């Protein structure tokens, strides 16, 4: 195989493009994951309501259809936020290591 180290790959155009796609996909998954997991507007039938009313209700507790109770626990939010983002990070790290294994035959190739 011609590519023995990561430094050899960095000179390849397709590898740099793949890195950009990987980083963009990572941030898109982070944003969408946080929107889905922390949006209070998910109804019982798992329908995600992205309307302005749902946004107001989720962020401020103001419901334009009538009063609502705000049951917000900051410590629970922080715990779920870090756990969710850590799981996403682990998934993307596994994807990266799988790519290295296919290309180099090693999970942690030489620099």
Euclidean distance between CA atoms 16 and 100, whole angstroms: 14
Averaged over 26-47, what is the pLDDT?
70
Residue scoring higher pLDDT (46 or 7): 7
- pLDDT range class, residue 24, cuts 50, 70, 90: very high
- The structure's pTM equals 0.63
Torsion angle defined by CA atoms of residues 13, 19, 20 and 21, in that order, rounded to the nearest 10 degrees? 110
CA distances from 109 to 4, 11, 52, 91, 99 (A): 8, 16, 48, 19, 11
Domains of the chain: which residue ranges? 6-104
Among residues 104, 95, 107, the alpha carbon closest in space to that of 7 is found at 104
CB 54 within 8 A of CB 41: yes
pLDDT in tens, 59-94: 555 555 555 555 656 777 788 788 888 999 999 999
């Amino acid at each position: 195989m011609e590519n023995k180290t990561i430094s050899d790959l960095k000179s390849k155009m397709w590898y740099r493009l793949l890195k950009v796609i990987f980083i963009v996909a990572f941030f898109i998954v982070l944003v969408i994951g946080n929107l889905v997991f922390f949006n209070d507007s998910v109804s019982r039938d798992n329908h995600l309501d992205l309307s302005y009313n749902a946004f107001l209700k989720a962020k401020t507790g103001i419901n334009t259809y009538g009063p609502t109770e705000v049951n917000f626990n900051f410590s629970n939010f922080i715990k779920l936020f870090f756990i969710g983002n850590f799981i996403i990070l682990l998934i993307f790290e596994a994807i990266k290591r799988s790519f290295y294994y296919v290309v180099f035959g090693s999970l942690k190739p030489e620099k």
